[in-house]
Structure 1
Amino acid sequence: METIERPTFESEARKRMYEYVERHGTAKRHVLLDVLSVSSEEFRAELDLLKSKGYLEEEGGTLRVALDAGSVEEYEAGDVEFTIRPARQDDFEGLVDAIRDVTAEETYVVAESIAEQLLYEDTVTRHNTVESRLFFVATVDGEVTGWTHLDLPQVRRIRETAQQTVGVESAHRGYGIGGKLLQRGLDWAEANGYRKVYNSIPVTNEHAISFLSAHGWNTEAIREEHYTIDGEYVDEVMMAYTF
């Protein structure tokens, strides 16, 4: 299922099944059956329809929202080998840790809010009629060391624009991981019909501004004194990449 497609349901049972899995990140098949309180025959029929439509996928009895986010990519830079792939629910703790590592060193307010939202909702991927979000992660030796995130609005008039964040833990910078993550998110957005991706950064985060500028992003606007950082008013730099 493409993330830009809003899910629709022909039965209440099917809607409840999808919403439970979407809200919890994953769900065991037998747990979902107990929650729904429907017959085994109806459960199997409705689940088969959700899977055949591409809304849910199942592996080893565990159900998750099926999003076509692409394949795993392998890279090597110097003595470091890293992987970039779609994030999974079991990346949750590593993803939050990576975001917090970045935001502890540099002011990145949007990323801070994303980490808080992850912790509040306790799920990595969201896709419903109100909101959608998608993560790609970079891993080194199986551990999450960086991320890129796409916030995908479902409101019709702004569904062609997306918000992107990106960050790499300090221990693994200098290997091109951030650039690969950024491009992976941009490639996905372009392939799925988005015409613009944007990011908003405090003017004090010079590293992030230089990084995005070097990768073809432009400053669209400055919001004066938008943030309060260390007791001082700080401007916000609104940057965008247009396809």
Structure 2
Amino acid sequence: MGAIERPTFASDASKRIYEYVERNGTVKRHKLLDAVALSADEFGTHLERLKNDGYLEERGGTLQIALEFGAVAKYETDELAFVIRPGRQDDFDGLVDAVRDVTAEETYVVAETIAEELLYEDAVTRHNSVRSRMFFVATVDGDLVGWTHLELPQTEHLQGTAQQTVGVREAYRGHGIGSRLLQRGLEWAEANGFRKVYNSVPITNDHALEFLTEHGWDTEAIRRDHYEIDGECIDEVMMAREL
């Protein structure tokens, strides 16, 4: 199933099964059976249909939503080798830590909000009739060191635009990881029919504004006194990239 494909269901039972998994990130098969209040035969029939239709996938008795985000890509510089791949549920703790690490150093309010959403929802990927959320992550020797996030509205009039954030732990900057993450997100958005990606950054975050400008993003608008940071009103710079 593609992340821009709005989920539809042949029955209420299938919808209940999918929505329970989507809300919880991953669910053990036996716990899902208890939660959806279906007979074992009904449960098995509807679950197999959801798996065959590409809505859910099962690994070792654990279910999660199945979305097509692309392949794993490996990169190597003179000093560092890293991997960029689609984020998954078992990246949860690493993602939260990476976002908090970046936002502790520089004010990045949108990314802070993402970390809080992750903790509140306890799910990395979301895909329902209202919104979708996906991540690509960068890893070094298996450790998550950076991310790019795409927020994908399912509302008809907003489906052409996506919100993107990107961040890399300070110790791993200077190796092109942020640029690769940003480009991976942009390429995915363009390939899936989006016409614009946007990002909102406090005007005091010089590093983020410089990074986005160098990669072809334009200032679309400035919202005056949009944030209150350390008791001071701060403007928000709304950056955008046409695809």
Which runs of no fewer than 5 residues in structure 2 stay unpaired? none
Aligned to 1:227: 227
Q: Which whole-Å CA distance do the structure 1 matches of 2:95 and 2:38 have between them?
A: 36
Q: Which amino acid aligns with 1:225?
A: D
Give the deviation of 1:231 after TM superposition. 1.6
Report 1:7-46 matches (<5 A).
Answer: 7-46=7-46
Q: Which amino acid aligns with 2:216?
A: G
Give the deviation of 1:79 after TM superposition. 2.2
Alignment TM-score, normalising by the size of structure 2: 0.98
Q: Which whole-Å CA distance do the structure 1 matches of 2:51 and 2:75 have between them?
A: 32
Superposed CA RMSD in Å reads 0.8
Aligned to 1:195: 195
Q: Which whole-Å CA distance do the structure 1 matches of 2:23 and 2:5 have between them?
A: 18
Cα deviation, 1:35-91, whole Å, max 9, x if unaligned, reads: 223222211211111111111111111111011000111111222111101111110
Q: Secondary structure at the match of 1:19?
A: helix
Report 1:90-109 matches (<5 A).
Answer: 90-109=90-109
Mean CA deviation greater in 30-39 or 184-193: 30-39
Alignment TM-score, normalising by the size of structure 1: 0.98
Q: Which amino acid aligns with 2:204?
A: T
Q: Which whole-Å CA distance do the structure 2 matches of 1:155 and 1:39 have between them?
A: 34
Aligned to 1:117: 117
Q: Which whole-Å CA distance do the structure 1 matches of 2:203 and 2:176 have between them?
A: 23
Give the deviation of 1:31 after TM superposition. 1.4
Q: Which whole-Å CA distance do the structure 2 matches of 1:237 and 1:78 have between them?
A: 35
Q: Which whole-Å CA distance do the structure 2 matches of 1:4 and 1:208 have between them?
A: 28
Q: Which runs of 4+ in 1 moved over 2 A?
A: none
Q: Secondary structure at the match of 1:225?
A: strand
Q: Which whole-Å CA distance do the structure 2 matches of 1:229 and 1:44 have between them?
A: 52
Q: Which whole-Å CA distance do the structure 1 matches of 2:221 and 2:165 have between them?
A: 18
The percent of aligned pairs where both chains have the same amino acid is 67
